[in-house]
Structure 1
Amino acid sequence: MIRSTRRRIVAALATVLLSAASPAAVPAAADAAPARKAAPAEIPCPKPKVPKPTGVPPRPVPPPDDPVNSAIGGDALATHGLVVPAGAPPPPAVTATTWLVADLDTGEVLGACGPHVYQTPASVQKTLLAATVIDKLDPAKQVTIVPSDLDIEPNSSAVGLVPGGKYSISTLWLGLLLNSGNDAANALARLAAGGGPDGVAQTVAAMNATAQRLGAFQTHAVTPSGLDGKGQFTSAYDLALIARVCFASADFRKYVLTRTAQMPAQPKQKKGGFQIQNENKLILKYPGALGGKTGFTTVARHSFVGAAQRNGRRLVVSVLGAEVQPTVRVYDIGGILLDWGFQVPRDASVGKLVEPRDVAPEPADTPGAARARDAVGATPESVRAAPQTLTVLAAGAFALVLAGTPLLLLLTQRRRKRPRRLTRQ
């Protein structure tokens, strides 16, 4: 009788553990578990009717959606469609493929369209370069440009640096953020890693490490400038995380609000000086604008990240994959979305921009690791490690059962305490 009971318990444990370890086993246990509610239908993002551009190359194929990463900041953000708070005014129709508006200070997400959908960044990726190295370079230091700094795509945006020319670091930042100089991006990336021939590659690796530290798990940089590269992606949510770091820097805020700057003459190279203008015209026309960055490639289309303040409230907006018209540029789209965001009540939210501490991994052997996973939610690493964890759990459970310990109720209770996804706070 005891052996028969043990066999039934072992069989029941096997069903529970195998259903947890293998998605393919879930249908087999469907009779024993209540059916989950079907996911709500996605709400299409409002878009105006505008002519589609011609001659646009195909978009790169993004990585598959990751259910965990897509829910960073809150389950409501795991959508390719529109998400806004209940009772909020209807959002404007804009040509952006994806966008997000959030409170720059509290991190509350006020609304979004496909916030975690992979997109190509174009020059808004320069904000990730700034978030990574702006505090590591002395703005007053004079540096010399080398030929490799000009190794950029032909006819792409350049501020006009001259090999052998001498510029201050602050001038290079102005060339990067006002005029979107890809040559300035290469120079800053090289210098941030010590100035060696592999400096750009080292800084790109540091940019990717920064993205991971911030919780921008859908961001992967291949170039420091945002020029298109294979496997280079970001998302509207990630851009907002990166922008929060940038706008916390006094130097960044000063640069992006600069209207014009002077590129110095280089007498030895017989090159005269010239003026550059800020390409983000929102700082000229939008009351309370705090600056930002525009971007464009034929693959990525138009992108923008910026911020503004009104009545003691600061908002950040990110825009990706937009089409523009002669009277509506990409920064205008940012302004339209900011106007909408300022109408959303202060206490309304659909999610949260996470803090680095929310997603920081903790060594698995520390006492607080389980508590951290429960509080924050599963990370990609923990998801990948789940089958190994379940294997250990299964071995221990079977050993105890065979020893005569009635653990079925205990383990099924523990089964319910799976790590939770991030939810809005």
Structure 2
Amino acid sequence: MIIGFSSRAASSACALCAAGVLVLGPAAPAAPAGADPAPAGGARATAPRPALLYRSGTQVRPRPGAPGVPDVSALSWLVADADTGEVLAASNAHRRLPPASTLKTLFALTVLPVLPGDIRHRVTEEELSGIGAGSSLVGVVEGRSYQVSDLWRGVFLNSGNDAVHVLAALNGGWRTTAARMQATARSLGALDTHVLSPDGYDAPGQVSSAYDLAVFGRAGLRNPDFARYCATVEARFPARDGGTYGIVNTNRLLSGTNGVAPYPGLIGIKNGYTSNAGNTLVAAARRGDRTLLVTVLNPQAGGGLRVYEEARELLDWGFGAAGRVDPVGSLDALRTPPKPRPGPAPGLSPGPRPGPEGTSVVATTTLAVDDDGSPWSDAAAIAGAAVLGGVGVALLLRLVGRRRPGGRGR
């Protein structure tokens, strides 16, 4: 099928592309944890305390009256304030370990913005090829038409690798999606993560860390779609025969299944398991005006449900320790700060200028430039390209959906 774009559609696409480039410009990082505001004159009153997150073992800076950190068996864990990014305590935070399906948090961060949930798509045999043996599945079938929102619920609730494969195909393919995920990780300062399989399936060399996964979880909570999907407990999924069936979130701290009591105030995010990674979990809970994130990777004691109990203990500790510990690091620490942007030349005021056919063109935005003269950092540039490609995919899918039979709602 050959799809032609009208001049009106092309203009809309260009506008969306420009918006994607501007959105992906590197954001200024939050002040380092423990840093004091700079007084008049520019000098700091006191230097920030150094981060401890690259040290092995448990790291915490308790004040008098702080509760003791629970003795958990996970190979790596972290507790952070989701609002400020301050890390309250951690153990082996940057240890590189297989993430299992918690890597789907990065997949969602990368692909959600470019695949709107109202798009409808008929699944092909090719899109379901290559799914790893023993993968968790939600039940996507060839020839069935799904809304993209159905597929996202399959990802978040059932950890469906079949749904990930279809969404990755719509995003440009498996390898393209992995590359875009890698760029997204770098743009967020998540430097421990190496992506080979977007669904989190075991692959030699695929790793992440408690620190990076907390970064992804925090960024996800700021995306309304991500936050809604990861907090969904139950949903209906399209069946092969045209009906639907129920699916339940496998994050047992949220759903309270298999004898695990739901955690009060839990708001998501994602669990995982493979034979190589063990049990993994990124969870967030809100109590009053405070939201905490915990990451727990591969508990060494107890059974398969131990990951939830260790996360529960760490959340309880974090809420009890609020205001009684000093941060040991920050989830913003490794983001690349943008270079200063020069203002307009004297006497010039940036703004719209006349364009062809009565349109207006926004004045060119000056981009931050690296020392080597290239705009942005390499990661942000790649991420920008990712969004441009994704926007094109979304536009094509909308046009195809309007032109072919069955392209409308259920």
When the two structures are superposed, what TM-score results if normalisation uses the length of structure 2?
A: 0.66
User: Partner of 2:109 in structure 1?
Assistant: 131
Asked if the contact 1:302/1:323 (under 8 Å) is kept, the reply is no
Distance between the aligned counterparts of 1:165 and 1:315, measured in 2?
Answer: 39
With over 3 angstroms needed to count, the CA separation of the structure-2 counterparts of 1:148 and 1:331, relative to structure 1, is farther
User: Partner of 1:61 in structure 2?
Assistant: none
Asked if the contact 1:294/1:331 (under 8 Å) is kept, the reply is no
Q: Secondary structure at the match of 2:293?
A: strand
RCO greater where, 1 or 2, for CA within 8 Å and sep 6 or more? 2
User: Partner of 1:333 in structure 2?
Assistant: 310
Determine which of 219, 233, 237 is the counterpart of 1:263.
237
Distance between the aligned counterparts of 2:50 and 2:161, measured in 1?
Answer: 35
Determine which of 360, 364, 368 is the counterpart of 2:371.
364
Q: Which has the higher helix share?
A: 1
Determine which of 82, 86, 92 is the counterpart of 1:114.
92
Determine which of 322, 326, 331 is the counterpart of 1:348.
326
Distance between the aligned counterparts of 1:237 and 1:257, measured in 2?
Answer: 21
Distance between the aligned counterparts of 2:72 and 2:142, measured in 1?
Answer: 42
Shift of the alpha carbon at 1:259? 1.3
Counterpart amino acid of residue 370 in structure 2: P
When the two structures are superposed, what TM-score results if normalisation uses the length of structure 1?
A: 0.64
1:188-246 residue CA offsets vs partner (Å, 9 max, x unmatched): 111122xxxxx111011000000111111110110110001121010100111111111
User: Partner of 1:173 in structure 2?
Assistant: 152
Determine which of 128, 134, 140 is the counterpart of 1:155.
134
Shift of the alpha carbon at 1:156? 1.6
Determine which of 57, 75, 78 is the counterpart of 1:81.
57
User: Partner of 2:200 in structure 1?
Assistant: 226
Shift of the alpha carbon at 1:171? 0.8
User: Partner of 1:404 in structure 2?
Assistant: none
User: Superposition RMSD on alpha carbons, in Å?
Assistant: 2.6
Distance between the aligned counterparts of 1:74 and 1:217, measured in 2?
Answer: 19
Asked if the contact 1:324/1:330 (under 8 Å) is kept, the reply is no
Distance between the aligned counterparts of 1:274 and 1:330, measured in 2?
Answer: 28
Q: Secondary structure at the match of 1:242?
A: helix
Asked if 1:202 is matched to 2:176, the reply is yes
User: Partner of 2:215 in structure 1?
Assistant: 241
Q: Secondary structure at the match of 1:85?
A: strand
With over 3 angstroms needed to count, the CA separation of the structure-2 counterparts of 1:324 and 1:169, relative to structure 1, is farther
User: Partner of 1:388 in structure 2?
Assistant: none
Distance between the aligned counterparts of 1:254 and 1:245, measured in 2?
Answer: 13
The aligned runs of 1:3-82 (5 Å cut-off) are: 74-82=50-58
Distance between the aligned counterparts of 1:321 and 1:283, measured in 2?
Answer: 19
With over 3 angstroms needed to count, the CA separation of the structure-2 counterparts of 1:322 and 1:263, relative to structure 1, is same
Counterpart amino acid of residue 226 in structure 1: G
Counterpart amino acid of residue 191 in structure 1: L
Determine which of 274, 288, 307 is the counterpart of 2:245.
274
Asked if 1:296 is matched to 2:291, the reply is no
Q: Secondary structure at the match of 1:80?
A: coil
Runs of 4+ in 1 over 4 A off after TM superposition: 359-362
Shift of the alpha carbon at 1:75? 3.5
Q: Secondary structure at the match of 1:76?
A: coil
Q: Secondary structure at the match of 1:110?
A: strand
Counterpart amino acid of residue 243 in structure 1: G
1:357-412 residue CA offsets vs partner (Å, 9 max, x unmatched): 5456852156xx9xx9xxxxxx9xxxxxxxxxxxxxxxxxxxxxxxxxxxxxxxxx
Distance between the aligned counterparts of 1:146 and 1:254, measured in 2?
Answer: 28
**Aligned residues between the structures:** 291
What percent of counterpart residues are identical? 42
Q: Secondary structure at the match of 2:166?
A: helix
With over 3 angstroms needed to count, the CA separation of the structure-2 counterparts of 1:184 and 1:323, relative to structure 1, is farther
With over 3 angstroms needed to count, the CA separation of the structure-2 counterparts of 1:357 and 1:227, relative to structure 1, is closer
User: Partner of 1:306 in structure 2?
Assistant: 283
